[in-house]
Structure formats: structure tokens, C-alpha cells
Structure 1
Amino acid sequence: MHICFLTNEFPKQGFPHGGIGSFVQTLATALVKKNIKVSVVGINYTNKDETEIIENVNVYRLKKSTIKGLSWYFNSKKINDKIIEIHKQDPIHIIESPELGLAFIKKILNIKYIIRLHGGHHFFAESENRKINKWKGFQEKRSFSKADAFIAVSQYVKTHTEKYLSYNNKTVAYISNPIDTDFFKPIIENQSEDKIVFAGTVCEKKGIRQLIQAFPMVKKEFRNVTLEIYGKDWFFPDDTSYIKMLKDKELIKLGDVTKSINFHGSTPYSEIPIAYSGASVCVFPSHMETQGLVAPEAMAMEKPVVFTKLGPGPEAIENYRTGLLCDPYNPKDIAEKIIWVLSNKEEAKEMGKKAREHVLTKYGLENIVCQNIDFYKM
């Protein structure tokens, strides 16, 4: 079997990537260990063509078009041409992409086309209180019409997406994103008693602003606590920095408390376990997620986690047993959950152990990989 993933986000040294890139890397490297051939095709971060083999995964990064107004056409053409080239050399059986990815892909006979619901344009528009962009909305609908099947990473993303888009009576499977529990495992020697850790893109929908607003309440109870923020910056349409906005509008209000808030910037995927390992508590108050990788990653390291009670949060965490669920729009509630963890160290430690057991069962890599293979073979 030969599977081809379409994504521009496959991790590349020195460049930021998102959750989709991490997911594809984890699943792809696990699939090749099952003797399944895997290719990844996407547009490069830099202005050149590159081909490399990473852990036996063939990664094709294509030179991006810079033709204003027509870059979508030329980028799609390059991806289609590369797919045809790869298919001639070694026939592809499955092509998988995120929601918009099939919009301009030319279908080839005997290839099965799958969309994995990572959270598309329609899905996130509601949580971000913005209108549907007509161009992106058109692409997403066109992409859905070409899919032969869908994979939802949570029950929530399935039901929420179908409010806006049709699955066209095609098969929809429910398969969680996998967590590599050998990579994300407890690291005892790096543990701390005074660190709150956030990881993820630093943007509004991840709840980082409310977490910063909650921090002074925690600091009042625990004087030595720090907030460690790991993740790439997000930029507004006018190219202004979200982190700069936070510093200008939120941190400026906090006085000396600001000295205890540290922005670490984009962090290589290989270093994320070290970031988690230093945490007393990991906090991810997202306004919206499809599944969320960071929460189960931290849980796999036996860390007490505060996650959002919205969306798929209750699918990931049993409140006060395998973690805590918070109202991501309420800084006071976020602070109270963090304070509970810092005040109840033994209970929090036991919660962390139960969290890892839960991740091993629900998100364990071996189990999830087998579920994917079974679905691909259907």
C-alpha cells in the first residue's frame, strides 16, 4: 500500500509548523514501520524544490508560486504534476488531505481520496466570530465534493462540521489523532514545582490572552510561579504580531508580574517533551479545538492538565480524574483550576498517572495506526 499525504506543514528544521504537520509526521513514520510506503507532497517554506527522506518517509517540498492572484493555480498544478509523477513510479492507493486540500486536485482512477477533519475554514469561523471567506468557503465545499471518505478526529468535529458542509453520504470514520507515548513519556529529573506551561500557536483562539489575565490571580497565591509560553507567533491580516498586541495591551497592565511571564517562541517538535517536563501544570484553554494534540501529549507525560471544557474537551478529559476542564473565556475559572493543581500536589500527581493510562488506551500510537490501516484497506 502507498499513501500520499497532502500538506505544506510537514516539519522542517528551522521553520514553524502546526498540529497537522506534527500529526502527519507521527502517523507517517508509524505507517512505514508497518511496511507501508508513505509520501508527503506540499508547497515548500522556501522558494525552491526539495526532496528528502525523513525516517523512510518520502517528502516532496515544491517551489511556491509568487504570481499574485494566480499562485493557487500554479501551486495546485505543481502538486498535481508531482502526484502523477510519483504515481507512475510507485502507484498510490490513498491520497489524504485536510479539509481544503482536494479543491484543485485532479482525481486519478483507482486512488481513494480521504479528507481528515482537522478543523477547516467553516469549522473555525464560528469560534473566531468571523464571516466565511467566500474563496476559502468555495474551496472547502469543492474539496468535500471530491472526497471518497472522511476521518473525524473527534465526535465534536464531525457533528460541528456537518452544520456547514455535506459529507455527501460518504463514509465518515471516527479515529483519534495518535500520541507517540514512547516520545511523550514522564521525565522525572526535569520536574518543577512552580511552572505553568502553555504550548501552541500564540493566538486568540488558543485562549492565551485569558490565561495571561488569569496569571496574576495565581501569582497572588503562589509568589514563585512563572508562566512559560512555547509557540510561534500569529499575525493579523495587516501583519502585526499577536504577541506584540499582548505585550502592548495585556502585559502592560500587570506591572512586576510581567517579569514572570516568558515567551520562548517557536519550539522544535523534538524539544516539546522537555518543555512539558518542567511544568507543574500544563494549561490549554482553547476556545475551539478539533481534538487538540497538546493536552493528550502532556497527559502522556503524567502532567496534570487544564483543558477547555468546550468542543472536544470532555472527550479528552474526565474532569477531576484525568485532568481539569475550564471555561476558556473566564480567567477566574482558569486561575481557580491552576490553583487547585498547585494546592493539591498529591491528588494532581495521581491525576497525572491516570491521565497517562487514559492516553495509552484512547490515543496509543499502535492502536491508532492499526485503526487507520484498517480504514485505508476498506
Structure 2
Amino acid sequence: MHICFITNEYPKQNYAHGGIGSFIYTMSHQLVKIGHQVSVVGINVYTKIDESQIDNGVSVFRVKPRVIKGLTWYLNNQAVNKKINEIHKQSPIDIIETAELGLAFIKKIKSIKYIIRLHGGHHFFAEAENRKVSWWKGFQEKKSFKRADGFIAVSKFVKTHTSKYLSYHNKPIEIIMSPINLEIFKPKPDIKIEENTIMFAGTVCDKKGVEKLIKAMPKVLQLRPEVNLYIYGRDWFFNNGRSYVSFLKEDIISNLGKLKAHIHFMGAVPITELVNKYASAEVCVFPSLMETQGLVAPEAMAVGKLVVFSELGPGTETVEHKKTGLLCNPYDEDDIADTILWALNHKTEANKIAENARKFVLSNFNMDIVISKNLEFYNFVINQ
């Protein structure tokens, strides 16, 4: 089978990327490993030129962006369509998969089936972040959904929540969690746990709950003054160009006095380094205000770490409180602090929870099982 992913987020060495990029990378490499052909097409958001590479069997095409005011969207979609046609003529594509907005201006080819994977689209996050739906993005998302032949949701929550705003048009839809590469994310017994370290990983932005986590730190430090918080992940920028990390440092952390010395921004790190940071932390905390699934929590759980995750959204699909992890109210700074303190003060229970967490991930995020479910769904849509 030849699967083509449309995304601008496929990881490039020495550049930061997000969760969708990690997902596409993991999926595509495993698909190639078991004998399928994978192409990835997207606008080049890294170096602004046409680039192509074979990344361990995955054919990656980064198309030079066309920037003309008012026409950029049209020209870029035309460029992506052209590249897809070139690939299809050389080696026929069976499945094209993209995120919620991705099919709006893609020219459908009759022999190809088109899948939307619900990573969390514009309507989904507009409501979650209490902002208005952009008519332009809303229009694209609705048009894209009409053009899909099937849908994959990464959680029950994102399937149900998205259906409040968008129709699946009676097309097939399946809930399939994203896989975790358990060859990378596994216990690291050779790495010493640094006591009193709290670790956050993810894009440093509002919806990931970083501000609330930082505001919870004074209560944590009042009772455990030796604790340090390490924040790993790429920066995010406001519409005016201001860095979110700068906002946190200048508007939030600057008011903490001496306590600010306990909060450390470490930037984005490669996956191979990130897994070691999970392993060395005492507690991994991800108090997201909203997620579709959230990969960092099961990644850390796979390493055998105690995870504090959000009780909102799909949180309860990934973590069972005090069984496979801890859940907190991400809008309540006191609750975040109290949950962290419980983890630090109950090491025996925490270790047992971490053991259960790894077993849960092995059963539910196993690469072979998840890939098999995806291929089964692809074949079902193809044969309709």
C-alpha cells in the first residue's frame, strides 16, 4: 500500500517540531519497516526552498512556499497538488491522510481514498481556548470534512467534541490512539533519577497549561524548597510576534522573587535526549487545558515515570487517577500543586503507579497493534 501524508510538520534535523510531526514520523517509519510505501508532502516551513529526501525509506517532499498577499493559500495548495500528481504518476497512491483542514483545496483523484485524522482542528481548539471561529478557517474545515472518505479520531473525546461543530457526513470513523515508539520510550535504568525534579515537555504555550504550572510552583516550593521545574519544548508566538517564553519570564516569573531560580527553560531537544530527561525526572507534569490525546503523557509513562496529567478532555482515557497516573484540574493552581506534592511525598505509591502506567502503555499504545488497526481501517475505506 502507498500512503501519502499531507503535512508541513514532518521533523527536520536541528529544527523544532510538534506532536503531529512526531506522530507522522513514528507512523511512517513503522509502515515502511513492514513493507509499505510512504510519501510525505507539505510546504517547507524550515528553509523556504524545494527539498526532497529519503529518510530511512520515507520519501519526504518539502515544497517551496509561494508568498503573494491574498494568493498565498491558493499558490501553496496548487504546489502541493502538483507534487501529489507527480508522485501518483510515478507510484500510484492508495491513501492520502491529513489533518482537519488539509483536504479543503486538495484536488481529489478518483483512485485515491482520503482520510482525515482528528488531531484537533480549528473548531475544536477555538471553543477550548474561548476564541471566535475564523470564518475562513471554519469554511476550510467544513469543506475538508465533506471531501473525506473516512475519519480517524485519536481519542473518544476528540471524536465526540468535534461532532458538536462538524458533520462526519455518515462516512466511516474509527477511534485509534496514536502509537508510541516503545523501542525509544522505555525505562532507562542506567540514568539516575534526580530527586525533586519536575519535568514538563511540549510546546510552551497557553493551552499546554505552562502558565498555571508555573503559578503552582510557589505552593510547591513553600513545602518542598529544594524542587526545580524544567520546561522542555519549542516556543510559541503571539500574533504580534511576542514570544510566549518571554511573556512567562517577564510577566509571570519576574513576580516570583527568589523562587524564579527554580524554574528553568531548556528549549526543544531531540527525541533521543527527551527520553533521557523523562527518565531523570522524579515527576512528569502535563497540565494541558485541552488535548486531543496528548503524546507526552504516554511517552513518559512508557519510560516508567509517574505522570500528572489533565483531568479534562481525553485525560481519563490515558490516565486512571492513582492507578496509572495522577489527574489534576489544570485551571486550579492549588490542585496542580497539591497533586505534585502528593507525588513527591508518596514515593512507594508513586513507584507502583508508574509500573502500572508502563503496563497500560504497552497494552494500548503498542506500535504493532496501532499500525494494524490503521491498516485495517485503510483497507476498509479502500474496499467500500
Report TM bin, short chain: over 0.9
Q: Deviations over 1:259-279 (max 9, x none)?
A: 111001122233210121121
1:30-56 Cα offsets, whole Å, 9 max, x none, are: 111110000000011212111101121
Which residue in 2 is equivalent to 1:127? 128
Aligned residue number for residue 23 of structure 2: 23
* CA distance in structure 2 between the partners assigned to 1:32 and 1:137 by the alignment: 34
2:62 is aligned to 61
Where do 1:257-268 residues align within 5 Å?
A: 257-268=259-270
Larger deviation, residues 269-278 vs 313-322? 269-278
The equivalent position to 1:269 in structure 2, one of 265, 268, 271, is 271
Superposition map of 1:260-299 within 5 A: 260-299=262-301
Cα deviation per residue 1:156-183 (whole Å; 9 max; x = unaligned)? 0000000000001100101000011111
The residue type equivalent to 1:24 in the other structure is I
Determine the C-alpha separation between the residues in 2 that align with 1:100 and 1:347: 44
1:338-366 Cα shifts (integer Å, max 9, x gaps): 00110011111111111000001111111
Q: Does 1:344 align with 2:338?
A: no
Give the SS at the match of 2:203: coil
In 1: Cα distance, 2:2 partner to 2:252 partner: 49
Whether contact under 8 Å (1:198, 1:284) holds in the other structure is yes
Output the TM-score relative to the length of structure 1: 0.99
* 1:51 paired residue number: 52
Question: Which ranges of structure 1 fall in alignment gaps of 5 or more residues?
Answer: none
Question: What is the CA–CA distance in structure 2 between the aligned matches of 1:256 and 1:79, rounded to whole Å?
Answer: 51
Q: Is the 8 A contact 1:175 1:371 kept in 2?
A: yes
3-state DSSP class of the match of 1:370?
helix
Structure 2 Cα separation of the partners of residues 270 and 120 of structure 1: 29
Distance in 1, matches of 2:273 and 2:25, equals 15
> What corresponds to 2:208 in structure 1?
206
Match of 2:182 in 1: 181
Q: CA deviation at 1:241?
A: 1.1
Q: Tell whether the 8 Å contact from 1:280 to 1:304 is kept in structure 2 after alignment.
A: yes
Residue identity opposite 1:41 in structure 2: V
- 1:5-44 matched pairs, under 5 angstroms: 5-44=5-44
The percentage of aligned residue pairs carrying the same residue is 56
Unpaired segments ≥5 residues, structure 2: none
1:240 aligns with 2:237: no
Partner of 2:75: 74
Instruction: String of CA shifts for 1:260-309, please: whole Å, max 9, x gaps.
Output: 11001122233210121121000000010000000000000110000000
How far, CA to CA, are the matches of 1:345 and 1:11 in structure 2?
A: 36
Contact 1:46 1:64 (C-alpha < 8 Å) held by counterparts: no
* Matched letter for residue 343 of structure 2: V
1:32–1:56 contact (8 Å) kept in structure 2: yes
Say which SS state the counterpart of residue 181 (structure 2) adopts: coil
Secondary structure of the residue aligned to 1:91 is coil
Equivalence map 1:100-111=2 (5 Å): 100-111=101-112
Question: TM-score, structure 2 length as denominator?
Answer: 0.97
- Equivalent residue of 2:53, what SS? strand
**C-alpha distance in 1 between matches for 2:192 and 2:163:** 43
Cα deviation, 1:55-113, whole Å, max 9, x if unaligned, reads: 21000011011212211111101110000000000000000000001110000011000
Cα root mean square deviation, aligned:
0.8
| Distance in 1 of aligned mates of 2:48 and 2:172 | 38
Aligned residues: 378
Equivalent position SS for 1:295: helix
1:226 maps to 2:222: no
Q: What SS does structure 1 have at the residue aligned with 2:67?
A: coil
**Structure 1 contact 49–63 (Cα < 8 Å) conserved:** yes
SS at the partner of 1:107?
coil
SS at match of 1:357: helix
Q: Distance in 2 between matches of 1:48 and 1:187?
A: 39
**1:134-145 equivalence runs, <5 A:** 134-145=135-146
Aligned partners of 1:40 and 1:57 also within 8 Å = yes
Query: Which range moves more in the overlay, 61-70 or 320-329?
Result: 61-70
Tell me how far apart the structure 2 counterparts of residues 200 and 7 of structure 1 sit (CA, whole Å).
19
Q: Give the match for residue 158 of structure 2.
A: 157
Q: Which is worse superposed, 30-39 or 180-189? A: 180-189
